[in-house]
Amino acid sequence: MSEAITQDSREGGLEAPTRHAIPWQDPAWLDADAIDAELRRVFDICHGCRRCFNLCDTFPRLFELIDASKSGELESVNSEDFKPVTDACTLCDMCFMTKCPYVPPHEFNVDFPHLMLRVRAAEFARGERSLVDKQLAETDRNGRLAGKMHGLVNWATKENNALTRPLMQAVTGIDRHAHVPRFEGKTLEQQAAAAPDGRDAKAPAAARKAAIYATCFANFNDSAIGMASRGVLEKNGVQTRVEYPGCCGMPKLENGDMAAVAAAAQAVAAHFGPLIDEGYDVVALTPSCALMLKSEWPLILPDDAAVKKLAEATYDITEYVVDIARDEGLAQGLKPLEGGVAMHLSCHSRAQNMGAKGAEMLRLIPETPVTVIERCSGHGGKWGMMKKNFKTALKVGKPAARAAAKAIDTGGAAYLVSECPLAAAHLVQGMQRLENGKSKTPERAPHPIQLMAKAYGLDPRTGDT
């Protein structure tokens, strides 16, 4: 074992994990030799620890690579063989948040996800990111174009379309069996602007104002998340407005396109800044976007005051409802939901380090038991849709699928929900492939805020009574 592991150093600690600013504009951060040296340092630590062996496919690939080498140690592994390991990371942050005992402030200073991000950024700078990866990350353009012909697009991308999906797989590399998000003809912004104001000015949280950050997914693909959120907040007296200045840049972060992510951060922060000054809280509808606003952007632009202000004003939607319940108390009118709820906690919900707010929110619904599933769905953004990864993504998500099937088939849960829409769809696909989970597998798993709307007697699709 290496000196890094055997030295007299305390494992873990009681301090909260911290993260360092990302020096993406420093040429040394992209230096190939420096990256290789850091990969070897961190991989050697991981090889001696192995606590993350069951989190995702990254670590089994690493450990198998080392174990199969001539010496059984990292020193006999060629650096050219690292790519399958680094490609398997989905930047879920679970190793950093839940497993690794060597995260900062520990002297080993291991931040595995941000090291993988560094690798991706260097690849992007060298022009090694594929055209398909780049085009799939253009979520705003794709959403606007697909929305104009959503009927045709949704027909062509159905998993059972034997005509178009094989062709789509050949051209884009997206597995023909993987779920692809549907598109809507009207954006969330458009629907919210046309919907009547349903705010109850006498409700407990009437002093609050919330700017709902639509996110690209809720704006173009699933407006029901945003409309249900708007309905629940207005039921509780919150003055709302739906805003969509642009994508948070998570798909481009996955590509390592740091400059584009920084530009997105500056544009969105500039948009929300005046609203924050007017007393608005910013409420993000999907956990990946909330994580970007709260955590990743301030590390990418640590000296940007507008980005810092936005981070401090941002809530995840479930976190915000729980905050209302704690501070003002929720509006009356919640009714029990028949049957319990199986609640999947997505990785990026957990990575926000805010607690299980989705489950906490659902437990506010009277007489509605909640079963929590704290396992990765395996999807990992667009990573899990690709032909080269889809089977692996299903394998990684199988424990979560089994837990969901158990909660529904034998535990009596009537609903399956997840805060991450992509994880939700992938989880359903995983359940459909289980030996004993098909009979009661739901057609879809909504966002928990939609069940909150339902418990209030609101339409979970529109937020209206």
**Final residue before a domain boundary, out of 125, 151, 167:** 125
**Final residue before a domain boundary, out of 125, 141, 159:** 125
Any domain includes 380: yes
101 and 82 Cβ atoms separated by less than 8 Å? no
Any domain includes 115: yes
Any domain includes 173: no
Any domain includes 367: yes
Any domain includes 328: no
Whole-number pLDDT of residue 438: 56
Any domain includes 181: no
Give the model confidence (pLDDT) of 380-433 as tens digits: 889 999 999 999 999 999 999 999 999 998 877 899 999 999 999 999 999 999
Would you state the structure tokens that stand for residue 270, as one six-digit string?
A: 């500039």
How many domains would you assign to the chain? Answer: 2
With 0.85 as the threshold, say if the pTM is over it.
yes
CA distances 449 to 157, 197, 250, 294, Å, are: 27, 19, 22, 20
Sequence letter at residue 13: G
250 and 264 Cβ atoms separated by less than 8 Å? no
Q: Which whole number is the average pLDDT over 28-42?
A: 97
Q: How confident is the model at residue 318 (pLDDT cuts 50, 70, 90)?
A: very high
Any domain includes 358: yes
Residue 11 pLDDT > 90: no
Residue 5 pLDDT > 70: no
217 and 418 Cβ atoms separated by less than 8 Å? no
Whole-number pLDDT of residue 3: 36
Any domain includes 175: no
422 and 379 Cβ atoms separated by less than 8 Å? yes
Q: Look at the block and give the residue holding tokens 């006498």.
A: 202
Q: How confident is the model at residue 14 (pLDDT cuts 50, 70, 90)?
A: low
Residue 368 pLDDT > 50: yes
Sequence letter at residue 411: G
Q: Which whole number is the average pLDDT over 331-343?
A: 94
Whole-number pLDDT of residue 441: 86
9 and 48 Cβ atoms separated by less than 8 Å? no
Distance of CA 160 to the CA centre of its chain: 26
How many Cβ atoms sit within 10 Å of the Cβ of residue 463?
29
Query: How far is residue 430's CA from residue 148's CA, in Å, rounded to a whole number?
Result: 31
**Final residue before a domain boundary, out of 78, 95, 125:** 125
Q: Which whole number is the average pLDDT over 110-127?
A: 97
Whole-number pLDDT of residue 439: 60
Sequence letter at residue 11: E
Peptide bond into 366 cis (omega under 30): no
Residues 235-252: b if buried by 16+ CB within 10 A, e if exposed: bbbbbbebbbeebbbbbb
Which residue range forms the structural domain that includes residue 99? 3-125
CA distances 15 to 11, 103, 133, 352, 391, Å, are: 12, 10, 38, 17, 38
242 and 285 Cβ atoms separated by less than 8 Å? no
